[in-house]
Structure 1
Amino acid sequence: MLELQNVETCYGSSQVLFGVNMQVGQGEIVSLLGRNGMGKTTAVRSIMGLTPARAGTIRFKGQDISRQKSFRIARAGIGLVPEGRQIFPNLSVRENLIATSRGQGWDLAKIYGLFPRLAERQNNMGNQLSGGEQQMLAIGRALLTNPDLLIFDEASEGLAPVIRTDIWACIRKLRDLAQTVLIIDGNLDALMAVCDRHYVLEKGKIVWNGSSEQFANAPEIKKNHLGI
């Protein structure tokens, strides 16, 4: 469904990604791992067209999206749960959700079923929510675009343990629904339980990729590239 070939991305004269190659197949959940500052968010920004790749090719469902505008990439079927949530603070929960609703499948009722807390807070403004509630809202907003591919940039970072439990339960449900997912997060145990495959990024280059079973049997990868 998603394929990056030799992707290079820069911020001005500073190059961040160096020939990145990775794939996400339909129905897979794939993680992108690496220490802070290794280029994970830049890879997501390149996929979404927010920081276009300088070289290489990004294909989604067989179409080259490397130079497309962000809104066209989103319309093509990629949903993003961004780092920092980026919800609309002056809109209510319900307004945040319906603002992005399109297509068939996910609707308000299903989102409220997935996150009952959002139903309880549907008339509250975005800036009145806790960090965990904002993350639920960001996920719900992305799902209401009915994406073919859903990207999580830091799925559970900085959240209280009880909220993290809810977020990972949501991701497990998405796996059961065969939702295609690319996920960035630092919780390796949770990722091993839900992901099919993993890519490790080091200084803008993919240095390892493989299945959860292969990752579990490669302690040197954790030690050398993830600082564990």
Structure 2
Amino acid sequence: MQVPAVRKVPSESDPVVEAIRTAIVSGDFVPDQRLVEADLSERFSVSRGAVRAALLQLGNEGLVERIPHRGARVRAVSLAEAIEITEIRMVVEGLCAAKAAQRVTEAEVAELREIREGMVAAVDAGAVLDYSVLNNRLHRRMVEMSGQVTAEGVIERLRGQSVRHQFRLALQPGRPNVSLPEHLAIIGAICDRDPVAAEATARGHLASVIRALRGAVG
């Protein structure tokens, strides 16, 4: 009896998945924009089958939705949903911050201090985009340092879904001056290897983000 071929499911490292995800997260593809397989196949120089599999993966992540008889499109995430996502991140990233404080190496402490210096310099110079890049780097490295692989996957998906709202929030006048002390507190707690303080400061920072997002609703 012939054994049926096993269907390949694209992994998170699948280059087609990564390319389309990046285009969505960066804003190249906007909410509700149709994602036509033929166009994506040409743009990324891959087969339509590879694109179809990638869209399925991104649908599982909540970045893409399929509309009957109309194909796929970029899923629009409401502000209310972005707040819910940040509430979940607050819990998970708090755990990661605590674990990072327990596991951090001397080399990673030096890296965090470098990020801290860069963030302070960016805020002093009014370089909002540079600060935003360092902000994302800090959150990503904190999770990586925690060694929580499962949490890393969860957070990556959640951040991808709410990134547009977070980006607009980061560009609000005065917002970096609010978030900078919060980020410095997270860095300080991890570098001090204080898991209780690290969790509290990480949760406090994301609670501040939630308050700012709720203010945007009004």
Considering fraction of residues, name the structure with more strand: 1
Pair in the same fold by TM > 0.5: no
- TM-score by length of structure 1 reads 0.26
Larger Rg: 2
Considering fraction of residues, name the structure with more helix: 2
- TM-score by length of structure 2 reads 0.27
